[in-house]
Chains A and B, each alone.
Chain A
Amino acid sequence: MKKIDLHIHTMPTISDKEFSFSIDKLKSYVSSAAIDAIAITNHDTFDRNQFMMIKEAVDAIVYPGIEVNLETGHVLIISDGADLDAFWAKTALVSKKITKIGESISVDELKEIFDDLNDYLVIPHYDKTPEIKGEILERIIGYVSAGEVDSAKKFIRAIKDNSRLTPVLFSDARISDELRQLPTRQTFVDIGDLTLKALKACFRDKNKVSLSEKDGNKLFQIFEDGQKISTGLNILLGERSTGKTFTLNRISESNKNVKYIKQFSLVQQDDEAHERDFHKDISRERSKFMEGYLSEFKVVLNDVVNVDLQRNERLIDKYISTLLKSAEEVERKDSFSKTALFDETEFTTSEDPVLNALIRSVKQLIENVEYHSIIEKHLDINSLKELACELIEILRKKNDERKKRNFINSIIRDIKEMLRVRTSSTQVEDIDLYRIKMDFKKIEKFEEITKFLQKEAVISEENVQRFRVVASRAPFNGAGEVKLVSRSRVAFSDAYKDYNQPYKYLQSLVNIESLDPSELYKYFVKIDYKILNKHGYEVSGGERSEFRLLQEIKDAQDYEILLIDEPESSFDNIFLKDEVNKIVKEISKTMPVIVVTHNNTVGASIGADYCVYARKEFEGTDIKYRLYSGHPTDRELVSQDGKQLSNFDVILNSLEAGDQAYNERRKGYEAIKDRK
């Protein structure tokens, strides 16, 4: 196994914060983390001299590379360094094209500059911002060896999902003296000789990359001293004041996007404040739900709000009246008003979104890499290409036609205006009946949709362990209810009179100046959001804390690591065993979780994948905080400096107050059980 970190910054560029590179820091990183190969990958630049200096100084293989701003994301281009001058010259072309923040090069430019990308390791930001995805990724996918991710969670996800690229986890670190902790993100590769060619071959097989040297993807490094934890469920044990919370804080500080549920954070300390917090949470969830549920309605409303029926009516009136008047005046026409263009109407012109979308879809069928074999099984790719060309030809023709028509419309407008000022005859006002009719249709649809939306219904029911979250909709019952949603002092009583005529109601809302136009969609239907307990009643005080904990754990799905500090301090054992253990275990299948506990219900029953024990030890007059770790079935827990403790003793001391107490308790329970 070799350990590699092929994404390291050694020069500040316009894409970085200022930092000053330290060769000593790089040397100490490479040697303490025992890294076999690194790559120097600065943003859009490669400094040959600095590279040579690093290569001389560092005791590892050093590859020359560059991190390129490619259209929407970043991609690492790493060379084997055989022809350093040629690589330097190519990277200089990248630097020349990217001189300001926000600039990037295109895929075509990348291919042109680097000639044959097969000569390099091409590693795009994959599950990492700024990501290379979609069409851009498809266009370089043939050259890509692996995809860079930025957390253990994403690494595992990519490993498990066959449709995803082989993941690599690199530090992406700016190496300077200010670097407080040495990076812990590297990838192990199962490889003999570390050559670029061998790396490429290795990346073709997901089984050959891993987060740890001996434990595959079960463990990953969390601290610079080499301390590892499970990519699944960890329990962190220890007596009071042994550094457990300190350890969680360290993890929280040194990792991005960590969900940290602190001790007592959910406990009910003050009834009123607790209820307020709970309602605030629920109200936030309700807003989130409502925004999602009403997002399509919002689009419709935003379109309809721009329809001006009164203006349309004025236009029709004007058209009719000028038409009639012009007919009356037909005998009195002069040489200006007699011209055909005097009353000419304009061509209608419109874009063709359907055709554009169709071309994009055909293009996707042709270029999609992921499902290429299935598409090819059913459709002839050559025919699809012909279809695309034919559609493009039609699109071009239609575009030409539209441009010409727009051009002619401008001529007509000019001439009509000039003729108008020279004559006393009435000019017939032009009118776009298509648009006016479409406006009416929009309102009809809007009314239909709104009425449907206002029918009472349960729109979502979700079970969160023992709770049920029910969202329902109903019409507003009075202006007061609308006012509550608006959270303002605005009076809705006048507008509400039109509530049953949605378009008219919308107009009334538009006329209330103090209302934010982007919020109007909220005032058409009442969305109710309730948390019910298993009996179907609204939750009580204690249940609220339980629900909040479950909700917090569930929310952790959007994070990279979940930390929970002593959940037992707020909840009873039955709840911990039946609900918390279950949900924590479930979430640990997709991300690393660390639970600090003294409680045997959590600690012993949860079925952890890895056990970490924090211990305060006195060495002479010094106090040393040490972490021991191992798998739950290991005989010994081992510290990074090689000290060992009996796993059995640790578990019993931490969770059962020692062997003797455990046995006494057990005997006690048996005595009660046997009593008839």
Chain B
Amino acid sequence: MKLLKIENSQGYFLLDNSKYASVDKITKEDLLRLVNLTLESEVDFDEFTDDNLKNQAHQIIYKSIYDKLNGLKERRDEFKDESARLYLKEYDRYRGESS
């Protein structure tokens, strides 16, 4: 699933209806959706270069989100582990004993 793409020198992000919108319209709720997708699904992003994205406002937003989501994708396992470690011992013990 492509979350961020570049077309005609413009940056786009994936909406929840499988369509894309221009990155200058992105809000924090959209970002939250992209983060969830990055953590839960196989995702990719069009790579950003100074040449393929001309609009400077798009450059700023696209580059930042691209870097962050890429970073998150790499740390996906770590994120899941940390969350699963919360009360792990108790959880496993009680789950095992109560079922």
Contact = CB atoms under 8 A, between A and B. Distances in A.
Indicate whether A and B interact: yes
Interface of A: 334-336, 338-341, 344-347, 359, 363, 366, 382-383, 385-386, 388-389, 392, 395-396, 399-400, 403-405, 407-408, 410-412, 414-415, 418-419, 422
A364 to B, nearest CB: 11
A27 B41 CA distance: 73
A410 B39 CA distance: 17
A7 B60 CA distance: 69
Given A346-B28, A407-B35, A411-B65, A386 B60 contact: no
B61 interface: yes
Nearest to B85: A396
A336 B61 CA distance: 9
B90 A388 contact: yes
Interface string B69-99: 0001000000100111011001100110110
A388 B94 contact: yes
Contact of B60 (A363, A395, A422): A422
A366 B94 contact: yes
Contacts of B98: 382-383, 385-386, 389
18 contacts: A334-B57, A335-B57, A338-B57, A340-B25, A341-B26, A344-B27, A345-B28, A359-B87, A383-B98, A388-B91, A395-B86, A399-B83, A403-B83, A404-B35, A408-B31, A411-B64, A415-B64, A418-B60
B31 A396 contact: no
B55 interface: yes
A383 B94 CA distance: 10
B56 interface: yes
A355 to B, nearest CB: 11
A340 B26 CA distance: 6
Interface residues of B, number: 32
Secondary structure of the A contact surface, majority rule: helix
Contact of A419 (B60, B72, B83): B60
B68 interface: yes
A130 to B, nearest CB: 24
B74 to A, nearest CB: 13
Contacts of B84: 396
A336 B57 contact: yes
A638 B56 CA distance: 103
Nearest to B84: A396
B44 interface: no
Secondary structure of the B contact surface, majority rule: helix
Nearest to B80: A400
B36 interface: yes
A408 B87 contact: no
Contacts of B94: 366, 385-386, 388-389
A422 B55 CA distance: 12
B83 A400 contact: yes
A410 B65 CA distance: 10
Contact of B87 (A336, A366, A395, A411): A395
A385 B68 contact: no
Contacts of B79: 400, 403
Contacts of A408: 28, 31-32, 35
B46 interface: no
Nearest to A363: B90
A403 B75 CA distance: 13
Nearest to B79: A403
Contact of B32 (A339, A405, A410): A405
Contacts of B64: 411, 414-415, 418
A326 B61 CA distance: 20
A169 B48 CA distance: 73
B60 A407 contact: no
A423 to B, nearest CB: 9
A229 B24 CA distance: 87
Interface centre among B68, B94, B98 (most CB of A within 10 A): B94
Contact of B24 (A338, A404, A412): A338
Contacts of A385: 94-95, 97-98
Contact of B31 (A363, A366, A386, A412): A412
